[in-house]
Amino acid sequence: MPGASGTSERPAATPPLAPAAREVTIVAHDVGSVGGMERVLAELAVGLQARGHEVTVIARKCVLPPGCGVKFRHVPGPSRPMLIAHPWWMLAGTLATRRWRRGIVQATGAIVLGHVDVISVHYCHQVGPVNPSSASLPYRLHARAVRHLKRVTERMCYRPANAEAFVCVSQGVADEVREHFPAIAERVLTIYNGVDTDMFAPGVRTQDARELRARLGIGEDRLVAAFVGSEWPRKGLAELMRALAITAGWDLMVAGSGDREHYQELAEQLGIGQAVHWLGVTSDVQLVYQVADAFVLPTSYETFSLVSFEAAASGLPVLATPVNGVRELIEDGRNGFLIDRDPRTIAARLARLAEDPTLRARLGAAARESALRFSWEQMVSAHSELYGRLKAGLPARG
Cα separation, 54 vs 66, in Å, equals 16
- Return the pLDDT at 135: 63
Dump pLDDT digits (tens) for 155-181.
999 999 999 999 999 999 999 999 999
Question: How much is the mean pLDDT over the chain?
Answer: 91
Cα separation, 379 vs 185, in Å, equals 21
Model confidence at 19: pLDDT above 60: no
Model confidence at 22: pLDDT above 90: no
The boundaries of every CATH 3.40.50.2000 domain in the chain are 19-194+375-391, 206-371
Cα separation, 69 vs 90, in Å, equals 27
Bond from prior residue into 322 cis (ω within 30 degrees of 0): no
Dump pLDDT digits (tens) for 110-146.
999 999 999 999 999 998 665 554 567 887 888 889 9
Question: What DSSP element (H or E) covers 57?
Answer: strand 54-62
For the residues 56-85, what does the mean pLDDT come to? Answer: 94
Dump pLDDT digits (tens) for 170-216.
999 999 999 999 999 999 999 999 998 999 999 888 899 999 999 99
Burial class (CB in 10 A: 0-12, 13-18, 19+), 75: buried
So what CATH class is 19-194+375-391?
A: alpha beta
- Return the pLDDT at 36: 78
For the residues 60-89, what does the mean pLDDT come to? Answer: 94
User: Under a CB-based contact definition with an 8 Å cutoff, are residues 314 and 246 in contact?
Assistant: no
Model confidence at 397: pLDDT above 80: no
| Global confidence as pTM | 0.83
Cα separation, 99 vs 19, in Å, equals 21
Model confidence at 14: pLDDT above 90: no
Q: Report which DSSP code applies to 375.
A: B
* Alpha-helix runs per DSSP H in the chain: 36-50, 82-100, 137-157, 171-180, 206-216, 232-235, 237-245, 260-270, 285-291, 306-313, 326-329, 343-355, 357-371, 376-391
Cα separation, 92 vs 98, in Å, equals 10
Model confidence at 4: pLDDT above 80: no
For the residues 262-273, what does the mean pLDDT come to? Answer: 97
- Return the pLDDT at 289: 97
The CA distances from residue 54 to 26, 104, 132, 193, 318, in Å, are 11, 10, 43, 21, 37
Q: Report which DSSP code applies to 44.
A: H
For the residues 342-371, what does the mean pLDDT come to? Answer: 98
Smallest Cα–Cα separation from 286: which of 364, 231, 208?
A: 208
| Confidence band of 52 (pLDDT split at 50, 70, 90) | very high
- Length in residues, the chain: 398
Cα separation, 273 vs 266, in Å, equals 8
Handedness of CA 22, 23, 29, 33 (dihedral sign): positive
Fold of 206-371: Rossmann fold (3.40.50)
